[in-house]
Amino acid sequence: MHIYLDESGDLGWKFDAPYRVGGSSRHLTIASLVVSPDKKHLPKRLIKKLYTRFHWPTSIEKKWADMSIAERICFAEQASELCSRFPDDIRYLSITVKKEKVLDHIRRDANKLYNYMIGISLLEEMSKHKDITFLPDSRSIKVESGNSLHDYLQTQLWFPMKSESIITTRPCSSDANRNIQFSDMLSGIVQGHFEDGNSQPWEKIKTNINCQTLFF
């Protein structure tokens, strides 16, 4: 199974100013595209068709923040339909934390929070498969810690969960991988719903996203 991951928001803690005007995001969302190896071409194809339909320059990655509401709704509708057509092969997972409710002692090591969020979102899914190729965006949030995300997930699978699953982690940039770009758009849908109340795309796909929340 292949899992592509990206996030939306930040791990800053400055809440005395509005987000995007000197302040931190109030939420952080991590979203994943889970897809079987023989169907991994389908999300890529969906993204490619969006580039053609909306005349996006193929030399530049189209980011969620730069998409119009019509483009966002179109992606949400098509992504939802894709998941519905192949429920055994394509799944969408997300987790969102309300950062203002995160306790001070947890804020001191944001990497542990980040790893924990991904664990809540992905470990159960990972435990169902013998081999997992895990592809997080290489430009995802970087925070300093002695424990890598890969080691954390693998340890949780082998010991507390007693799973024989083996993870191969291959960070990859979203500008070079359409499936990570797909997960970026998924995270944009969920983050937009919680952070800004931009819920039109969310309404189109919410029944097909396994969405979890933390500290709400």
C-alpha to C-alpha distance for 145 and 80, rounded to whole angstroms:
36
Tens of pLDDT, residues 93-103: 999 999 999 99
Which class for 100: exposed (0-12), middle (13-18), buried (19 or more C-beta within 10 A)?
A: exposed
pLDDT in tens, the chain (216 residues): 999 999 999 999 999 999 999 999 999 999 999 999 999 999 999 999 999 999 999 999 999 999 999 999 999 999 999 999 999 999 999 999 999 999 999 999 888 999 999 999 999 999 999 999 999 998 776 655 545 899 999 999 999 999 999 999 999 988 889 999 999 999 999 999 999 999 999 999 999 999 999 999
**pTM of the predicted structure, to 2 decimals:** 0.96
Q: Which domain holds residue 102?
A: 2-214
Overall number of domains in the chain? 1
Strand order in the sheet with 166-169: 166-169, 131-136, 2-9, 27-35, 90-98, 209-214
Looking up residue 78, the CATH number of its domain turns out to be 3.30.420.10
Q: Which residues pair with 34 in a beta bridge?
A: 3, 91
